[in-house]
Every structure is written in structure tokens, then in C-alpha cells.
Structure 1
Amino acid sequence: MYGARAARVRRFSLLLLDEEEEYVQDWVVTAAWPVDRVAGNWQRAPLVGGRVRLCTRSLFFEPDDVRIPIVRIPLAAVKSLTSGPPVAAVAAQSGANITSQSPSSASPSSPVPSSPLFHGAVQRSSTAATSSASSNGPSMLLEAREVVLMRANMEEVPYTFLRAPTPATAAGGSVGSGSSSSGSSGKDHSSEPPEYRWAFGPCYSPLQPLLTQAAVLLEINRRPREQRSAAL
């Protein structure tokens, strides 16, 4: 029952957007969560179902499970954004045991949009079938220097800011206070990759619309402030 309720509740609000930021579009996706680097995924499930919500200055990932925090990735902090392998392959590359967090967010076995009949059948699919179905289509692969975690368990608490360790912080330890951090306390960051790596695979639509719009907004957010403000 809790799982059904978790899938219905939506925590995202336009109040989470920055000032002058606008909402663009959303997609149902399966995400490869970097469980070894980003906390909050309480089951440490490498695949998590939810929605990607693309905005003019950031990309949000809202997991179906309300116990897992919403992820905000500022586009200004994104180092790379490309078409990548299936989300299951990305999770496997991280050494994770591939299991699916949400059967309701399975991807069809083909990267093309599913039929309405299959869409309804997804709700009754098993975890094993979900893992298999979500492993085939290409994903949007991005690497970001900053991740913001918010509204886990529907709680209005201070956001958690995760920033990838720079060579200086990797050598001397994380610097910061409050809700900001460079990772787990006491952890050696010297061997970590410099960015947080995420993959998002659309479940019921082709990858290209998401990838194209995200790439355009990423390019705009890399411009000087005056040009960026004019374009957005």
C-alpha cells in the first residue's frame, strides 16, 4: 500500500525553481542513481523510477518513492551531457547489483514509445521484468559538479548540497558548513571521479526530445550572464 501511495504523491512544485527560472517539460524515466556517491537512496537501488523535470536553469529528478529525495542538478554545474548506454549498463559500470526501485516506471524493451496497452500493463510487471525492460533503450548521460537533494520523506528541511571534490579538497578534505558537503564524512575522495554521473532513460518516449532540449538549455547556461538572461 505504501508503494502505491508513493507512486501517486508528487512532491515537485514550481516553488523549487530559482528566481526567473521557468518550467519546460517532464518525462517518465528510469534513472541510474550513483549510490556510492549520493546519499538518500535508502534501499541503495541502482535503478530508480521517477520523472525528469527539465527547467530553464536546472534538471530535476523526482523519484516515485517519496522517501528518496528530489534531485536538482543545476545546468551551470553540468560538465558533459551525451547520449549514453542503457541505464542498466551505466549502473552495472558502477559495480551495482541491478534491481529496479519502481515497477511502475519500467521502460519498454524497445526504445520507441510504448503502446497504451503496454503502458497499462507496466503497473503489474514484476521487478525482474522491469529490470530487463529498462535495460535496452539509450539514456541521457550527464556528469555534474553539483547536486542538490531536497524534500525527502515530504519533509521541508534544509537542502543538502553535494559538490564534487576538486583537487584541492581531495587533498585537504572537504570545506564547508551547514548542509553543504563534498561527500560522506571522513571519506577519502582522492580516488573518486570528479563529477557525479547520472543516466536517465525515458520509459514511454524516444530519448531525442529530452536530449535535444537539455543540450540546448545547457549551451545557453554556459554563456555569459547577459547573454544567458536574454536567451532565457
Structure 2
Amino acid sequence: MRPVDEEKLREFETWLSLLTDGDLPERHKWKAWFCVAEYEQPDFEDVSALLRDNDASGSFVFLGRDAEEQAEIMEMLAADGHEIAFHSHRHHAYDDLSYDDAYDAITTGLAAIEDATGLAPDGFFAPFLKLSDGTVQAIEEVGFEWVLGMTDNEPDVIEITPPVIPFDTELMEEHSPSETMETLRTEAEADSAPFLFHPPVIEYNDGMDAFEEWIRAVEPVTVAEQIESGGTGMVLDCVRPVRLE
């Protein structure tokens, strides 16, 4: 029998734990759908055009796991003026990783993206946000311009910033897309933290019109731009979380 790669197994276990934690109410079914649905190049082109048509930009996150397959997508987004950011090698939790495991996951994923595209991401959005002390140590050693996540201990070298919480997927479990975006529009007027959006899930909930209204009102920028010159930073997660091929 072919052995299972530990990183692949951890990715599956992470999402399986979310999908099997009690009953799966109707409002949570997007989680199962998100694991198997996948944005393709035309979908990314549509989101890029949506942003550019409204004088906006964003930080799109990618996995090293998908770098070769999505190289043209990343290159297109970068050419359109968006930021390409890092989202791990495989999509698993970092809340209990040792330094060695975290360092390996980060450096492997970064190398895969750079090898496939020539792009070297400066930002890191940590899957599921929570970071172990070992992960923080690895992040500081690798070096990023920005990190979106949460940690129990204040790092010495790098600032780790949580996004505006609750974000779109959490809000849409209880509210309509229009109500969700109105809440996040109010947050944009009052908060300087980056916003996290999941366009495939917004689309699943028939919320793209409401999302465009938010973009038109807020005119978001990449997180790198937010750090450099202000504005409202936005991270866009279009990643298919589970891939067992």
C-alpha cells in the first residue's frame, strides 16, 4: 500500500474535524462544497476585473501545493496589479505545529510558488489563523512583510495581525449577503485591520452583487499597499482547501 504523506494527511484531518464536529446544519453546507469546488482561471479573471473596474485591488493567497497548476493565474493577477500572498504549502492548521514542521511547510510552499512563477510572496495568511509558538519562530526566521493570523504570545520581530472578525463566511452562516456586507462596510469605516473574503463562498451564497457594493464603497487595496500608504487592505482566499490527488 502506498504510504500517505504526513502533510497531506494533516490537511485532510484538519478539514475532516471541522466537517464532522456534530451535525452539519444547512447553513454550514458551504464547508463541504468549498472542499471540492474550485475556482479556475476565468473565475479569477472575473474577480480581478471586478476589482479593477471599481478602482480596487487585493491580496490573493495561494498554496505551494497548487503552484504549478495555478502559475498562469498568479502571473495574471500580478500583472493586473494585485498582490500574490502565501497561504502555506498545504491547507492545514498551524496551531500545534513544531518549529521544524512549520518551517518545512512554509519554506516548501514558498519555493514551489517561486519556482512556478518567479514571484516571491511577502505576505502570509495562515490557514485557520491560529499560530503555535513554533510557527511564529519559523515565520520570524523566514521573514514576511505582513502576517495575517492570531497568536497567544507577542512576537519579538514581526507583527501578527488578525483580520476583521467575524469575517464573511462566519457572518453568512447567520445573515444574508447584503446584511453581511453592510456589517463589514461599517467595520471598514471604523477599523484599520485587513478584511478577509472568500469569493467562491460568497458566490455560493449568491452574494457577488453585495460584495461588489462593498468594494465600490470601500475601494480596498492590497495589504502591502495598506502597510505602505494606508487604506483598507483585503485578502482574497479562493483556495480549494482539500486536494487528495
What TM-score results when the alignment is normalised by the length of structure 1? Answer: 0.28
More helix by share: 2
What TM-score results when the alignment is normalised by the length of structure 2? Answer: 0.27
More strand by share: 1
